Copies of this chain bind each other. A is one copy, B any other.
Amino acid sequence: MMNITNFQKTRHTRRCYTLELSISFTGDTSKYVQIYNELKQAILRKKLLAHEQLPSKRTLAKTLDVSVHTIKEAYEQLLAEGYIYSKERSGYFIAPFEFEWGQQLKQHTYASSIPVVDNIKFDFNNGHVDKEAFPISIWHRLLKKHFNVNNLTTSSWQGEAILRTEIARYVERSRGVACEASQVFVYSGTQSQLQALCHFLGPKTHVGLEEPGFKRIRATLQQCGLTTHAIPVDNSGVTIPKKSIHMLYTTPAHQFPLGMVMPVERRVALLQWATSENAYIFEDDYDSEFRYKGLPIPSLAKMDQLQRVIYSGTFSKTLIPSLRISYMILPKSLVEDFILFNQEQKSVVSKIDQLALADFIAQGLFDKHLAKMRTIYRKKQQTLLAAINVNFSEEFEVIGEKSGLHIVVKLPKRLSEQDAINLAQEVGIKVYPCSTSYQKKTKHAMVLIGYGGLTFEQIKEGIKLLGAVWQSFTPH
């Protein structure tokens, strides 16, 4: 059944687990056989790996409340059958071996841990940021500073007060949103804060969503059982809802995915609508920090002074997505009820990460990082647009380039969205569909091109390859 290969191999790091078997001994079989069987199964299923050390006989005997002799018998049986080996004065270790039915097992075991192999060289993902520019050593110093015994408890549900204070100060100085720390709620992503809001508002709530818009937002609302309505987007961003809804989700600073900046007139009109309808506006300011053209336009939350507007921001674009820290700022009129509603909830964000981030902002390092990233992303966008200008014909139209970390390219009639994506993939490039952002069928074929995560050279080379393969394509 098995082919024992090598007992001498000891250069592997040995792990010594405090193995805890949970066995409900039955009367039918002797205890040592039951222990032997449990261990054998653990070895065969690779839950105990080659060269791992078994607990001492004494330890295991104590754990299982049996005699040392019983364990000795079990170990000797395993030894005799070659499942384990012993080393003098060291103890017992799992034997390395191949087993005939191994292939069969492997098909199921850890299938999901096998990485997907693809040929993608340049991924124009709009969710990627410039990781090289992130101040890893500073961040690490901050983690070390705050990772101490006083900070090992759960954060308060609303988030660390010191972080909420810094966020309140930041959104006021950067986006003009005057608010207090008590209005700020810390979450682990835009979806997580929207989910909490959905629970608070209840399943009978009707929410308007931009069409086209973030499909992840729609999925979250629908998971929570709320009813969603598609509200069309025109050249000024989302239009005034004609349906009767309780809340409108919108991305005025940089509409997702089309990228237009909502002009002041539309903002005023939306706020008037919200006031007259007693509706709320959920302003998702997901990448407003990166603005390249045109005058700054005040956020809806600033114009409305957080009366009808719920403001949502994230550190996934401005810092790194792996951090999973975001924030939602509520009108004062909602704060008390929201806290009461969530009185049994716990924080979902690491306290250490929150304290490190608060310190990072308080020391002025966040603003400094933003200033640096604004310059980098502006240059990356310029590189991208210049490359598109050189490599793409005039049939292709670029939209949404005033801000953010992605642009949209409208494709010529001869090129469908799927063809464009497939052709790109053939030359090792990943671009993204816009059609998935629509609930209805789209009029224009468009693709989304993000540039935050690629280097200048990668952007240039990627667009060159893309231009060549798109320009030469004719549908059959």
The reply to whether A110 and B350 contact each other, CB–CB distance below 8 Å, is no
A178 CA to B219 CA, complexed, in Å = 32
Interface hub of A41, A195, A264, A303 (most chain B Cβ within 10 A): A195
When the two chains form their complex, are residues A367 and B147 in contact, meaning their CB atoms are under 8 A apart? Answer: no
Given A134-B152, A153-B322, A322-B152, is A161 in contact with B344 using a C-beta cutoff of 8 Å? no
Most buried by B among A24, A161, A298, A299: A24
Residue A295 is within 8 A (CB to CB) of chain B in the complex: yes
A214-271 residues with Cβ-Cβ distance < 8 A to B are 215-216, 218-220, 223-225, 264
Q: Given A22-B299, A297-B24, A350-B350 in contact, is the A322-B215 Cβ separation under 8 Å? A: no
Q: Which of A173, A195, A343 has the most CB of B within 10 A?
A: A173
Q: Verify if A90 is at the interface (C-beta below 8 Å from B).
A: no
Q: Given the complex, which residues of B lie within 8 Å of A418, measured CB to CB?
A: none
User: Are the C-beta atoms of A349 and B320 separated by less than 8 Å?
Assistant: no
Is the pair A173, B48 in contact by a Cβ cutoff of 8 Å?
Answer: yes
Are A174 and B22 in contact, with the CB atoms below 8 A? yes
In the bound complex, do residue B161 and residue A20 qualify as a contact, i.e. CB atoms below 8 Å apart?
A: no
Interface 9-mer from A79-87, A137-145, A273-281: A137-145
Complex CA distance for A24 and B172, rounded to whole angstroms = 15
Separation of A13 and B175 alpha carbons in the complex (Å): 25
Select the stretch in A181-189, A427-435, A443-451, A459-467 that faces chain B: A181-189
Q: Are B189 and A348 in contact (CB under 8 A)?
A: yes
A341 contacts which chain B residues (CB < 8 A)? 223
Chain B residues lying within 8 Å of A148, measured Cβ to Cβ, are: 136
Instruction: Say yes or no: B15 contacts A364, CB within 8 Å.
Output: yes
- A188, B348: Cβ atoms closer than 8 Å: yes
Q: Is A353 engaged at the interface, CB distance under 8 Å to the other chain? A: yes
Kindly state the separation between the CA atoms of A324 and B42 in the bound complex, as whole angstroms: 29
Question: Is A351 an interface residue, CB under 8 A from the partner?
Answer: yes
A111-B182 contact, Cβ under 8 Å, with A216-B346, A322-B352: yes
Q: Which residues of B contact A422 (CB under 8 A)?
A: none
Q: How far is the CA of A111 from the CA of B179 in the complex (A)?
A: 12
State A113–B25 Cα separation when bound (angstroms).
55
Q: A143-B140, A189-B348, A367-B17 are in contact. Are A47 and B172 (CB under 8 A)?
A: yes
Q: Say if the beta carbon of A109 comes within 8 Å of chain B.
A: yes
Q: Give a binary string over A296-313; 1 marks a CB under 8 Å from any B CB, 0 the rest.
A: 111100110000000000
The 3 closest A-B pairs by CB, nearest first: A219-B344, A113-B161, A15-B364
Contacts from A to B (Cβ < 8 Å): 13, 15-25, 38, 41-42, 45, 47-48, 63-65, 108-113, 115, 127-129, 131-132, 134, 136, 139-140, 143-144, 147-155, 158, 161-162, 164-165, 168-169, 172-176, 178, 180-182, 188-189, 191-192, 195, 199, 202-203, 215-216, 218-220, 223-225, 264, 295-299, 302-303, 316, 320-324, 341, 343-353, 362-364, 367-368, 370-371
